[in-house]
Amino acid sequence: SEVYRAGVGGAKPAVPVDHAALEQAARKAISAEAFAYLAGGAGGEATMAANRAAFSRWQVWPRVLRDVAARDLSIELLGRRRATPFILSPIGVAELAHADADVAVGRAASELDVPYVLSNQASRPMEEVAAAMGAGSRWFQLYWSRSDELNASFLRRAEAVGCEAVVVTLDTHLLGWRTRDLDAAFLPFTRGQGIAQYTSDPVFAELVRDRVARSTGPGERPRVTPTLLRSAFSIARSAVGTRLVDGGVRDALRSPLPRAAVETFLDVFSDPSLTWDDLARLREWTSLPVLLKGVLHPDDASRALDHGVDGIVVSNHGGRQVDRSVATLDALPAIVERVAGSVPIVLDSGIRGGADAVIALSLGATAVGIGRPYAYGLAVAGQEGVREVVRNHIAELDLTLGLAGHRSVAELGPETLRAAG
Ligand code: FNR
């Protein structure tokens, strides 16, 4: 009713309510390369299409005359009551959408009491985002680095800034075949806009220092501060421009610090050799609850349970990693069956509004993650844009729930739906 009342009162929304219009508004608000990065998927973007198509195979089956005057959207997740079943999935390189980047998202998330998963590839250090969020609920998303010291350091920092959980993303051990980025010859990470967790990290600084010392000979151990690291990346960025590969890059990166910073980052970013056996190490680094993001197969869900994880995020990274992958909503039921209520299941990839959330929750998701829609809101109107997009998801969920004849999210189940066609 807040949304309708504001509209009737003549207040113009900061962002379009319709998703397609929102996407178009974001396209206009930012550079072509930035939009390509936000909106694009892997390969021919068949996974992105499949994520959406999967929702069309289900229909909400409304019931009437069931007293839905009072409705409860809250859920229990990781030991806490949450106002709604939404979380904000981690989105890296948010600076491409808006200069306020992760700070704007964090503030909007706090305002609406929605947990925000801080990205490993954030544009702002987690300390700064956490400070802006106040008491707002935050989790930290880890890309498991080849450097155990760096993993431990990121997780130490996440605990120190009050993150409630760690989401380990397992689908990005290699970067997907991102067609639009390749066509734009665009590599955001080396452009320095998604490396704030690294430039602010003491262990990363040490790794860069070691590398400089190795390349310039013993005795040369430069001081490496966050400021120096940031300028090293921006030197690399201006050398790279928007080109992935360019003769000038190698020349510019002959200067030791920028070169060492970029090479160290590329070296440690991920570890494609990880196996289930490595998971035990994670527990040595943190006592926070651990969720695995990128689980799509029920057998992997079972293995995750065997390893004592605290939650599963059914995600295909918004179709940005494996093209022609299974859609998340299609993957969900078998995983729900295997998990059998023992840990929470978050679903993302394809959620575009509250009605989509109703479908995912009815099929057994505990919570749903919003991705691109809030990034588009950020691009169009910063913090206010994110707030409106998320609020619209909440409002549509509330209305769909009530119109379908349900009083609470807890009431949703397979009987809420009917297979289409
Ligand atoms: C992502 N995603 C992501 N995931 C993650 O674990 N760490 C990250 O840094 C990022 N970065 C990122 C950037 C951009 C621009 C996008 C669009 C996505 C994936 C994200 O968490 C989520 O899984 C998807 O966004 C969900 O798909 P939809 O809803 O955006 O289609």
CATH of residue 161's domain is 3.20.20.70
Residue 312 is assigned to a structural domain of this protein: no
Structure confidence at residue 185 (pLDDT): 66
Interval between CA 244 and ligand 1 midpoint (Å): 21
Residue 217 pLDDT class (50, 70, 90 cuts) = confident
Higher pLDDT, 175 or 132: 132
Pair 161, 247 in one domain: no
Q: Is the CB of 368 under 6 A from ligand 1?
A: no
Pair 193, 137 in one domain: no
Q: Which of 86-90, 125-129, 172-176, 274-278 has the lowest mean pLDDT?
A: 172-176
First to last CA, the chain: 33
pLDDT in tens, 334-384: 999 999 999 999 999 999 999 999 999 999 999 999 999 999 999 999 999
Residue 377 is assigned to a structural domain of this protein: yes
Pair 205, 297 in one domain: no
Structure confidence at residue 242 (pLDDT): 44
Pair 291, 190 in one domain: no
Structure confidence at residue 249 (pLDDT): 54
Residue 136 is assigned to a structural domain of this protein: yes
Pair 24, 158 in one domain: yes
Residue 383 is assigned to a structural domain of this protein: yes
pLDDT average, residue stretch 385-409: 98
Contact 94, 101 (CB under 8 A): yes
Pair 167, 190 in one domain: no
Q: Which two tokens stand for residue 115?
A: 């947990």
Pair 156, 298 in one domain: yes
Interval between CA 15 and ligand 1 midpoint (Å): 20
Pair 103, 46 in one domain: yes
Q: Is the CB of 293 under 6 A from ligand 1?
A: yes
Structure confidence at residue 295 (pLDDT): 98
Sequence-distant (6+) residues with CB within 8 A of 305 are: 338, 339, 342, 343
3-state helix/strand/coil string of 102-164:
HHHHHHHHHHHCCCEEECCCCCCCHHHHHHHHCCCCEEEEEECCCCHHHHHHHHHHHHHCCCC
Residue 10 pLDDT class (50, 70, 90 cuts) = confident
Atom of ligand 1 nearest to the CA of 39: 17
Residue 250 pLDDT class (50, 70, 90 cuts) = low
Query: What pairs with residue 334 in β-bridges?
Result: none
Closest residue CA from atom 18 of ligand 1? 91
Mean pLDDT, the chain, rounded, equals 93
CA atoms within 13 A on the CB side of 82: 26
Counting residues of the chain whose pLDDT is more than 70, the rounded percentage is: 94
Q: Is the CB of 188 under 6 A from ligand 1?
A: no
Atom of ligand 1 nearest to the CA of 316: 23
Distance between CA atoms of residues 194 and 208, nearest Å:
17
**Selection from 233-237, 250-254, 339-343 with the highest mean pLDDT:** 339-343
Residue 107 is assigned to a structural domain of this protein: yes
pLDDT of 326 over the 70 cut: yes
Which of the following is catalytic: 19, 173, 297, 317?
A: 317
The reply to whether 19 belongs to the active site is no
pLDDT of 234 over the 60 cut: yes
- Residue-range definition of the domain harbouring residue 234: 184-268
Residue type, 202: P
pLDDT average, residue stretch 254-269: 86
Atom of ligand 1 nearest to the CA of 96: 15
Pair 324, 191 in one domain: no
Query: Residue 129: what are its φ and ψ, rounded to 5°?
Result: -70, -45
Cα 185 to Cα 246, 298, 320, distances in angstroms:
10, 36, 16
Residue 43 is assigned to a structural domain of this protein: yes
Instruction: Select from 171, 320, 374 the residue to mutate for testing ligand 1; criterion: most ligand atoms less than 8 Å from CB.
Output: 320
pLDDT of 162 over the 70 cut: yes
Pair 170, 236 in one domain: no
ipTM higher than 0.95? yes
Structure confidence at residue 232 (pLDDT): 85
| pTM listed for this prediction | 0.96
Interval between CA 315 and ligand 1 midpoint (Å): 9
Residue 242 is assigned to a structural domain of this protein: yes
Q: How many distinct structural domains can be found in the chain?
A: 2
Instruction: Select from 291, 317, 352 the residue to mutate for testing ligand 1; criterion: most ligand atoms less than 8 Å from CB.
Output: 317
Cα 312 to Cα 15, 87, 315, distances in angstroms:
31, 13, 9
Sequence-distant (6+) residues with CB within 8 A of 293 are: 141, 167, 168, 169, 170, 171, 313, 315, 346
Structure confidence at residue 222 (pLDDT): 80
pLDDT of 79 over the 90 cut: yes
Interval between CA 219 and ligand 1 midpoint (Å): 42
Q: Is the CB of 353 under 6 A from ligand 1?
A: no
Q: Which two tokens stand for residue 4?
A: 């309708």
Query: Residue 47: what are its φ and ψ, rounded to 5°?
Result: -65, -40
Structure confidence at residue 266 (pLDDT): 86
pLDDT average, residue stretch 3-30: 91
Structure confidence at residue 75 (pLDDT): 98
Residue 404 is assigned to a structural domain of this protein: no
Q: Is the CB of 47 under 6 A from ligand 1?
A: no
pLDDT average, residue stretch 115-136: 98
Pair 36, 155 in one domain: yes
Pair 87, 167 in one domain: yes
Residue 251 pLDDT class (50, 70, 90 cuts) = low
